[in-house]
Every structure is written in structure tokens, then in C-alpha cells.
């Protein structure tokens, strides 16, 4: 199909979340790929008013690469729906559920998908938490997380009661709830999806104590193993499990599911990313490259998912 059939495309990047800089970096890579594919793409670093004026500004569709709010929590998806504007990735409800780690895990538990034990505390409960009881329940170490942040923003690993106390206090600054999650040991893996395609699994080997913000976006010491080194049948089984976890949240279009493979061979699921990073350090581009997809091919395939109901057009892009 002709690139012109996509029309004028807004590449939304930046925004106002804690992940603004990552979004700008991702957006620059996406924009470069779309332009290389001869698509009429334009960078838009939006304020709230601009989000509701995209259709009137002449855009035919949106490539969303806004990390955090409003790109991953359903706000952008609702704004685009009100304008009848196709947008990459999942819809309103799936985006909102995936952005909230506690909601994601509740849906996964309901669907029988294995997750790590956790406790979710309100702001007030976190201030008065019985730390000894939490340690008895979850053990040590634990990860303390703000449930509504991405890119490992605000995530702290606590290995003692004193560290747990400090981590909870720090996490309270990020929102109204705090998640304390039992640590799971094993291989850290991620599964990417573009439409009906399962991308190869990537094993993440962080030189840091865990895969934190710096390990994701700054360090050159983090290793990404593609292929992941698992036997083919096991990789396919894990991809299927990850796809089931992805679909249990209602996700569509493209995205990524992170999980641990324990030493005894169990998959324990961590979170869903409905707008994964697209920087030079990012996982989806690395997995796509293992299939022979360069960045122009990858971003065009993602954008083709906005051609709702046009299976032939998607097939032509994939050819």
C-alpha cells in the first residue's frame, strides 16, 4: 500500500508526565522511522488543549509515544475517540487498567495468570504500615512501587525493615497508593507484540541490582539477549502465556509484557506496557530487529494497526 494512505500522522511525544524525556527520545526514533518510510509524520509535543484539536489540525491518525499520562492511562485514547481519530495501541479501558499495576494484577489473578504476592496500601495506610507484618507476609527483599508510574520511576528494592520504611516514605510522594511486591528470582524476560505477531523473547541482564531507570535508559552495561537462549518449544509456550496475559487486560495493537522465569520453570508476570519505549536502548526495537525488521518497518507495522477492519492493508504493510 502507499504511505500516502495513512494521511497526515501526529507523532505524540513529550507531554507532562515524569517520563517526558524518555517519551521525547522514543518519539524522535519513531518520527525518524516514519519519515524514512515516506509517511507524512509530524512531531507534536502536546498540551491538553492540543490533544482535543488534533482532528481539526488536519491529522488523520495518531502514533502515540507518550509515556505515562496522558498517553498510557486512557486520557489520550478517550480524546482521540471523541474526535473519531485512530490511534496506535490499546483502547481507553485497557490502557487505564495496564497503567495501574494493582488493577493489572487484580485482572490477572481473576484470569488465573501467575503474579507475585503483594500488598497495596493507601497513602494513609502506608504512613502507619506495620512493617514487621509486611515482611512476615512478603519476605525480604521486596520492591516498593508507585502503581501509576512507568519506566521504573520511583521503584526501590528494600532488603531490610529500615530500607522498607524509607522506600514506602519515598513512594508516598508519587501518588495516593503504594505497592509492596515480593521479589521473584530468575530470568527477567519480556514479550513484545505487534498486531498478531509475537516478537522474540528478550532476556534482560542488568548490571545494576535490578532493572531500574538508569539500567533501562542510561547504562551501556545492561545486556539484552536476543535470541533469549531458551529452547524453542519453551519460548513459544512463554510467548503464548504472555499473549494471554496481554489479552486478559484487553490490550490490542502493540505492546509488551514483562515477566520472570523462575528457577523451577514458572512464569510470574509483572506488568504490561501499552506504549513501550522506542529508544536505542528499548526492547521492542531489539526484538523486532531479530526478525529482520528495521525501525521504518517496525513503526509502519505498528501504524498499520490503526487501519481498523482493513486486514488487506495490514497484510500489504507486513509484506
Helix (DSSP H) and strand (DSSP E) numbers for the chain: 13, 13
pTM (two decimals): 0.89
For 59, phi then psi, to 5°, come to -80, 140
Catalytic option among 151, 181, 188, 271: 151
90 is catalytic: no
Cα–Cα distance, 105 to 108 (Å, whole number): 5
Task: Please report the pLDDT score of residue 316 as a whole number.
Answer: 39
Domains along the sequence of the chain with CATH: 3-94 (3.40.50.20), 118-182 (3.30.1490.20), 185-290 (3.30.470.20)
Catalytic option among 17, 18, 23, 282: 282
Degrees, nearest 5: CA angle 282-286-287:
120
- Grid coordinates given for 199: 516478537
Task: Please report the pLDDT score of residue 147 as a whole number.
Answer: 81
319 residues of the chain, pLDDT tens digit each: 678 899 999 999 999 998 899 999 999 999 999 999 999 999 999 999 999 999 999 999 999 999 999 999 999 999 999 999 999 999 999 999 999 999 999 999 999 999 999 999 998 898 888 999 999 999 999 999 888 765 456 788 999 999 999 999 888 877 778 999 999 999 999 999 999 999 999 999 976 565 555 555 555 677 899 999 999 999 999 999 999 999 999 999 999 999 999 999 999 999 999 999 998 789 999 999 999 999 999 999 999 999 965 433 334 344 4
How far CA 120 is from CA of 101, 165, 196, in Å, comes to: 10, 15, 34
Task: Please report the pLDDT score of residue 301 as a whole number.
Answer: 97
Catalytic option among 17, 19, 72, 90: 19
Residue with cell 488534533: 54
Task: Please report the pLDDT score of residue 3 as a whole number.
Answer: 83
163 is catalytic: no
Cα–Cα distance, 110 to 105 (Å, whole number): 9
Cα–Cα distance, 210 to 293 (Å, whole number): 29
Task: Please report the pLDDT score of residue 44 as a whole number.
Answer: 98
Task: Please report the pLDDT score of residue 223 as a whole number.
Answer: 87
From the list 238, 262, 272, the residue with the least C-alpha distance to 108 is 272
Task: Please report the pLDDT score of residue 279 as a whole number.
Answer: 87
Contact between 82 and 52 under an 8 Å Cβ cutoff? The reply is yes
151 is catalytic: yes
Amino acid at each position: 500500500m502507499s504511505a500516502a494512505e495513512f494521511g497526515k500522522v501526529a507523532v505524540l511525544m513529550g507531554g507532562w508526565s515524569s517520563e517526558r524525556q524518555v517519551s521525547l527520545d522514543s518519539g524522535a526514533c519513531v518520527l525518524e522511522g516514519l519519515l524514512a518510510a515516506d509517511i507524512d509524520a509530524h512531531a507534536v509535543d502536546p498540551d491538553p488543549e492540543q490533544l482535543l484539536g488534533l482532528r481539526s489540525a488536519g491529522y488523520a491518525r495518531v502514533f502515540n509515544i507518550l509515556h505515562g499520562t496522558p498517553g498510557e492511562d486512557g486520557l489520550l485514547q478517550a480524546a482521540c475517540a471523541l474526535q473519531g481519530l485512530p490511534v496506535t495501541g490499546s483502547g481507553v479501558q485497557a490502557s487505564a487498567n495496564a497503567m495501574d499495576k494493582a488493577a493489572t494484577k487484580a485482572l490477572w489473578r481473576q484470569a488465573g495468570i501467575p503474579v507475585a504476592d503483594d500488598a497495596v496500601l493507601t497513602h494513609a495506610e502506608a504512613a502507619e504500615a506495620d512493617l514487621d507484618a509486611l515482611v512476615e507476609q512478603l519476605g525480604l527483599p521486596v520492591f516498593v512501587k508507585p502503581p501509576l508510574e512507568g519506566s521504573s520511576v520511583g521503584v526501590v528494592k528494600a532488603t531490610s525493615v529500615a530500607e522498607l520504611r524509607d522506600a514506602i516514605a519515598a513512594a508516598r510522594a508519587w501518588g495516593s497508593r503504594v505497592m509492596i511486591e515480593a521479589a521473584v528470582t530468575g530470568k527477567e524476560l519480556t514479550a513484545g507484540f505487534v498486531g498478531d505477531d509475537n516478537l522474540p523473547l528478550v532476556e534482560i541482564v542488568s548490571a545494576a541490582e535490578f532493572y531500574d531507570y538508569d539500567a533501562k535508559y542510561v547504562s551501556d552495561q545492561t545486556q539484552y539477549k536476543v535470541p533469549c537462549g531458551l529452547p524453542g518449544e519453551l519460548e513459544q509456550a512463554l510467548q503464548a502465556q504472555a499473549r494471554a496475559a496481554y489479552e486478559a487486560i484487553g490490550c490490542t495493537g502493540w505492546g509488551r509484557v514483562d515477566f520472570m522465569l523462575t528457577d523451577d520453570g514458572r512464569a510470574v508476570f509483572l506488568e504490561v506496557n501499552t506504549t513501550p519505549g522506542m529508544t536505542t536502548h528499548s526492547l521492542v526495537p531489539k526484538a523486532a530487529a531479530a526478525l529482520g525488521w528495521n525501525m521504518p518497518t517496525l513503526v509502519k507495522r505498528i501504524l498499520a494497526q490503526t487501519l481498523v477492519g482493513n486486514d488487506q492493508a495490514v497484510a500489504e504493510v507486513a509484506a
